[in-house]
């Protein structure tokens, strides 16, 4: 019996039972339980009726708990499952999040990996619909690569795909790092990590710079967080997907630091740094999305030397640094327009002078 059938069957059963008794009492009042009874008799019958009602509700609760076990309604509660709409894997299409992934600039090798992963999940979904057995595989993943290369966004869109395919009930993304999991006192780390895991239940837990959990030098608190995480992943393996992310070498050390991590994170996707041409395309894309007109002539000549210099820095943030540059360009443009009081259509136009001034200030 599914939670959907329970949601409709139980209330109908209770209404039917009470309806029968009310009908008998209304049509034949001489057979009502209070007819010809003394006050004490009425009280006795009332107490018995209440006890029977409590027993019926207790049995209903127990039956509902068994029926919704290991379903998305288990997290929201038994009684709420009677009126909460049941998520349908076929009610949404995974095309929209897939299109968002495909629209991201660059990341060609990542997109191939994601498309392969989605294809496998789609086949598994069809096998379930046809009542064909599906081999249980770990969905947890490792994303490796430098910052600002789209790891978080890919994880967010994957959560949406998991939701539409029925793998996860919500598919929301909970993004954390070491500071969200580890506390400075004994006993607090376990509580904090468990609270984060519960927030991510039925969704995706994304742990950025996860290697800091073993490299933190915190007297073992990071390892305590890992143990809590591993236990939660095992206890709720069908209801949470964990993605850990960070630099390639550091993540390899992180995964090898605990046998439980190595066995659960079976898939690794490597995110390469953006090339200069891709970063230029990202700059243009940001301008287009924010409805700015950008002078194309001379832009590449202006940005190429700046990119070549900044990409050598250990603090380079790829697309993140490009977004920071664009924010500074918008600031320069706003100051220029405010000083000249020249608004109108010029409010959408970014000049090469704006870009050059922004570069000089970074």
Using one digit for the tens of pLDDT, what is the confidence trace for 109-162? 999 999 999 999 889 888 888 988 887 778 899 999 999 999 999 999 999 999
What is the H or E stretch that residue 241 is in? strand 240-246
The span from the first CA to the last CA of the chain, in angstroms, equals 63
- Say how many C-beta atoms besides its own lie within 10 A of residue 245's C-beta: 26
Q: Which residues of the chain have pLDDT under 70?
A: 1-49, 51-52, 56, 59, 61-94, 216-219, 342
Structure-token pair, residue 246: 């960070």
Q: What is the C-alpha separation between 206 and 177, in angstroms, rounded?
A: 8
Q: State the burial class of residue 14 (Cβ atoms within 10 Å of its Cβ: 0-12, 13-18, 19+).
A: middle
pLDDT at position 75, please?
A: 47
pLDDT at position 21, please?
A: 65
pLDDT at position 342, please?
A: 67
Strand 349-350 versus strand 203-208 pairing type: unpaired
pLDDT at position 161, please?
A: 92
Residue 130 makes CB contacts below 8 A (sequence gap 6+) with: none
Q: Is the dihedral of CA 282, 288, 292, 296 positive or negative?
A: positive
pLDDT at position 79, please?
A: 52
Tell if the pTM clears 0.85, that is, is over it.
Answer: no
CA-based max dimension of the chain: 102
């Amino acid at each position: 019996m599914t939670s959907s059938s329970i949601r409709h069957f139980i209330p109908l059963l209770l209404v039917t039972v009470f309806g029968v008794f009310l009908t008998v009492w209304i049509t034949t009042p001489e057979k009502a339980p209070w007819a010809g009874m003394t006050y004490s008799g009425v009280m006795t019958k009332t107490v018995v009726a209440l006890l029977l009602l409590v027993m019926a509700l207790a049995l209903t609760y127990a039956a509902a708990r068994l029926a919704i076990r290991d379903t998305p309604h288990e997290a929201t509660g038994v009684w709420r499952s009677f009126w909460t709409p049941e998520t349908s894997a076929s009610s949404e299409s995974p095309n929209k999040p897939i299109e968002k992934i495909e629209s991201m600039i660059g990341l060609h090798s990542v997109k191939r990996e994601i498309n392969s992963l989605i294809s496998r999940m789609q086949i598994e979904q069809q096998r379930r619909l046809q009542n064909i057995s599906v081999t249980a595989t770990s969905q947890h993943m490792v994303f490796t690569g430098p910052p600002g290369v789209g790891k978080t966004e890919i994880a967010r869109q994957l959560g949406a795909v998991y939701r539409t395919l029925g793998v996860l009930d919500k598919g929301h993304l909970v993004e954390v790092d070491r500071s969200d999991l580890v506390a400075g006192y004994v006993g607090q780390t376990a509580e904090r990590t468990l609270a984060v895991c519960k927030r991510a239940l039925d969704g995706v837990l994304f742990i950025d710079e996860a290697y800091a959990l073993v490299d933190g030098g915190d007297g073992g608190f990071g390892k305590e967080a890992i143990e809590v995480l591993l236990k939660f992943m095992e206890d709720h393996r069908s209801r949470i997907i964990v993605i850990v992310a960070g630099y390639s070498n550091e993540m390899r050390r992180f995964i090898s630091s605990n046998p439980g991590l190595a066995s659960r994170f079976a898939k690794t996707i490597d995110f390469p740094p953006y090339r200069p041409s891709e970063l230029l395309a990202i700059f243009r894309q940001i301008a287009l999305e924010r409805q700015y007109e950008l002078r194309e002539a001379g832009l590449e000549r202006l940005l190429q030397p700046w990119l070549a210099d900044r990409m050598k820095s250990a603090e380079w943030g790829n697309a993140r640094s490009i977004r920071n540059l664009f924010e500074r360009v918008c600031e320069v443009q706003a100051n220029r327009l405010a000083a000249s009081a020249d608004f109108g259509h010029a409010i959408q136009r970014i000049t090469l002078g704006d870009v050059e001034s922004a570069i000089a200030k970074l």
